[in-house]
Structure 1
Amino acid sequence: MSTDAVAGFDPALSEELILRLPQARALGLKIASFGGGRAEIHMPFAEHLVGDPKTGVIHGGAVSTLMDTCGGASVMAHPLVEGHTATISLRIDYLRAATPGQGITARAECHHVTRSVAFVRAVALDEDETRPVAMATGTFTVPQLRESDAEGAA
């Protein structure tokens, strides 16, 4: 886990997020950091995730699940939001193939929250971390605002 995560980071709670999602378990997703409206989740390379055996590149659907899960985690990590979320929309732009044999890490930020919708930006990087594999924008449900902050949201 990242040591620069926001105070109040609860590893057990964030791991529960992953363990509740069968597809996240199947992909081997691990939360690296979680808090302050940000999340980072790593998907290790595994042969069963390869989309094309000729290239050895992780399938785009696995990358999509990683980015969606990380986006939802960033909403749950936002200080104004309480409870679980669901994806409303997710747009992913695939910029290049991931490097064969490398895991992929997604980083997402929930940058704006209203009473009912959270807005997220995310990026997926393979192990060289110099050029993104994919970028995403998404909207997610806001199940509930924290009591003291409900009046301040738009």
Structure 2
Amino acid sequence: MTAVVTSDWLVDDSLAPEVAGDRLAPLYAGASTGILVLPFCGRCATPLDLEQIVCDACASRAVQWRPTRAEGIVHSATLVHRVERGLVHVDAPYPVIDVETVSGHRIIMTTAEPSATAPAIGSPVTIAFRTIADVSLPAASLSSSSTTMEAKP
């Protein structure tokens, strides 16, 4: 089980996803308990994209959400310099990271803690969680040994 951050450092609570009836409800439920739950094909166990409903490998529509290891590597990363006043709490650039999990999933996220730098491609990350309103979402927890790219003035 990984840590759940109790308040969000980046965005306003009004940007929290609506959980009721959402296809990603199993992800949110797992995240609320500190467990990364991701979709797999119910027939062949191929990792599925978060909102994918048909398996690319076997064409099954059976989706099974199950706990996975909360680890991965940075596939790509960028620093966002645009700030939406009233919606984004920070005035500095913030990272958006594409993480490839050890289970084979790809998830776009930011960091669990405030950061004005983005990790280098290939850096290992642990997936923690951040909370917007009452909804927990995956967020990268960077190791102290991760190399970073910094914002240019």
Q: TM-score, normalised by structure 2?
A: 0.30
Higher relative contact order (CA 8 A, sep 6+): 2
